[in-house]
A and B are shown apart, each in its own frame.
Chain A
């Protein structure tokens, strides 16, 4: 089976559900999430049986690649979407209130909150495979536009709308920069295919200024999506305002896909010594500044979602440091770990939010007494986010630091180490609230069976990957980041 059917299947599923939604009674919208999640689970299973060699060579293969990185990221996108749908199920009461107002007249649809992630998921899967800048642009926009709607979906809450507008304006700006950047790269090379760029750009000596300009613009556009300094300012507001499942989706999947695209796109330019000489200092400064802004910004936060927003900025800094170290296997691993631990944290947030009604850190006071198991999973996830050893997050940080040390980026290491130490403080602040502080009421806090299973899986993933990272490593297989099929290298000049 050719891999490109995977996305077609996901889109087909989404369209079917969108139409089927009309016939589901309002009470049963949960079923849509279930069908969506199980459909995605089937697609995830299909990932292991697809045959990359079966891609139609003339129609699809020039635009679409199914290299190990792409398949790995498709897997990540699928897993993240499945968990987000389950999270949405759990979050349904809050979603309903947000969409229909306090009187809950049930006029507005909740189902879109479960169907739009499917479209975004398909977009991310395409992003992972896109090897043509036009295709890349389209898949990125599919993701972004789905997210505009998702972020603003709780339309009775000003916070959600405000987040939606902020995300819309900055997202659209980043779209503009992306197109303009692609335009200049095209203008300088006459190519839009990444595999051609990977062959041609490293040796180019003329039009360097145009190429650098174009690549910087695309870098800026992707920096928006990843949340890199100086384009990180939307993240805290949008994360705080968006419905929690959407925030989790944004934090995890959108970022992972954008990081892969960033690494793919930058690779040819970093291989050109003249452009790299300008690009690497810029990337270094961005990475260092992102680390500082993310970690220092998180220090004073008392809203858990905002804290996670700054934490995601900080992680973006580490990820860029990993891209600079040029060992993309480790970056992929980092992202895999990031997906596990961040999703677990957001599950915990949504559970607490639903029963306590707030998502401040103080809502977590005494959680260790009210629900020790939930507190434990959140400790594991916080430890992993902070980079405490024997969790998946540590291996990610270890790999990134190792890449930076091996590449000799000492100033960045000097920034990354205190930044990571600051991370200990604000992640442990969560632990402090759960264990040290007295709770307002001692009622046990119930967790649904679905969330229990999801949390158990995510926590086990975080711990097992921390001990045995080989599991994920095998999936990535050290492939080159920009796949260059033998055929395209020859036909590069024929339009």
Chain B
């Protein structure tokens, strides 16, 4: 397993997330795809950190960022799901097609 393997795996994950974001119409699924993107970023970070040894230890800066990303993602999910739930309450739907009150 070299750095490249991790990077390619993370890249596939990122592209999957981005692709899902574009093609899926269910807001919850889109939200999951966003989590995939964040996961790919954390995987890349860990890989970079593991393969950049400074005085024999992994680079700690990147791992710190990983923890922050996980925390922020959790906060984002909490707020995001709350918004999606209240949207569902008022429109009875979580599909992008049903969002059409705002038009120019």
Q: How many Å lie between the Cα of A165 and that of B31 in the bound state?
A: 10
Least CB separation from B17: chain A residue: A176
B101 touches A183 (CB 8 A): no
Once A172-B34, A187-B44 are accepted as A-B contacts, the answer to whether A137 and B68 lie under 8 Å apart by CB is yes
Check A173/B34 contact, CB under 8 A, given A152-B83, A158-B90, A161-B90.
yes
- Judged by DSSP, the binding face of A is helix
**Is A180's beta carbon under 8 Å from chain B?**
yes
Complexed CA–CA distance, A161 and B80 (Å): 11
The reply on A301 being an interface residue by CB < 8 A is yes
What is the minimal beta-carbon distance from A315 to any residue of chain B, in angstroms? 18
Q: Would you call B12 an interface residue if the criterion is a C-beta within 8 Å of the partner chain's C-beta atoms? A: no
Report, as a range, how many residues of chain B touch the other chain.
35 or more
Q: Do residues B68 and A180 form an inter-chain contact, with CB atoms below 8 A? A: no
CB atoms of B87 and A176 under 8 A apart: no
B21–chain A nearest beta-carbon distance, Å: 6
Residues of A within 8 A of B102 (CB): 159, 162-163, 236-237, 240-241
Q: How far is the CA of A95 from the CA of B61 in the complex (A)?
A: 43
Q: Cβ of B99 < 8 Å from any Cβ of A? A: yes
Known A-B contacts A145-B76, A190-B52, A301-B104; A183 and B41 likewise in contact (beta carbons under 8 Å): yes
Q: Can you spell out 22 A-B residue pairs with CB atoms less than 8 angstroms apart?
A: A137-B68, A137-B69, A145-B76, A148-B83, A152-B83, A158-B101, A161-B83, A161-B90, A162-B87, A165-B99, A175-B38, A176-B38, A179-B41, A179-B45, A182-B65, A183-B62, A186-B45, A190-B52, A241-B102, A297-B104, A301-B104, A306-B104
> Residues of B contacting A158 with CB < 8 Å?
87, 90-91, 101
Residues of B within 8 A of A236 (CB): 102, 104
Question: What's the least CB distance linking A361 to chain B, in Å?
Answer: 12
- Chain A residues closer than 8 Å to B91, beta-carbon distance: 158, 161
* Measured CA separation A138–B44 after assembly (Å): 18
Q: Are B31 and A164 in contact (CB under 8 A)?
A: no
Given A173-B37, A176-B34, does the pair A186, B76 have CB atoms closer than 8 Å? no
Cα distance, A192 to B68, chains bound together (Å): 14
- Bound-state CA distance A80–B90 (Å) is 32
Nearest chain A CB to B28 CB, angstrom units: 11
- With contacts A169-B31, A303-B104 taken as known, whether A176 is within 8 angstroms of B83 at the C-beta atoms is no
CA distance A159 to B86 in the complex (A): 12
A159 to B84, CA, bound (A): 13
* Cα distance, A163 to B83, chains bound together (Å): 10
Q: How far is the CA of A289 from the CA of B86 in the complex (A)?
A: 36
> With the chains together, A93 CA to B97 CA distance in Å?
31
B residues near A301, Cβ cutoff 8 Å: 104
A281 interfacial by beta-carbon distance below 8 Å = no
Identify which of residues 148-193 in chain A touch chain B, using a CB-to-CB cut-off of 8 Å.
Answer: 148-149, 152, 155-156, 158-159, 161-166, 168-169, 172-173, 175-177, 179-180, 182-184, 186-187, 190, 192
Minimum CB distance partner of B87 in chain A: A161
Query: Other CB < 8 Å A-B pairs besides A183-B65, A187-B7, 13 of them?
Result: A138-B72, A141-B76, A148-B80, A155-B86, A162-B102, A165-B87, A168-B79, A172-B76, A175-B38, A177-B37, A179-B69, A186-B48, A241-B102
Identify A162's interface contact among B17, B38, B40, B101, CB under 8 A.
B101
Which residues of the other chain, B, contact A182 by a CB distance below 8 angstroms?
Answer: 65
Chain A residues within 8 Å of B42, by CB: 179
Question: A190-211: contact bitstring with B at CB < 8 Å (1 yes, 0 no)?
Answer: 1010000000000000000000
The CA-CA distance from A403 to B14 in the complex, in Å, is 38
| A-chain residues with CB within 8 Å of residue B80 when the two chains form the complex | 148, 168, 172
Contact code string A312-336 (vs B, CB < 8 Å = 1, else 0): 0000000000000000000000000
Is B54 an interface position by the 8 A CB rule? Answer: yes
Q: How far apart are the CA atoms of A179 and B14 in the complex, in Å?
A: 11
Q: Across the interface, do A495 and B68 meet the contact criterion of CB distance under 8 Å?
A: no
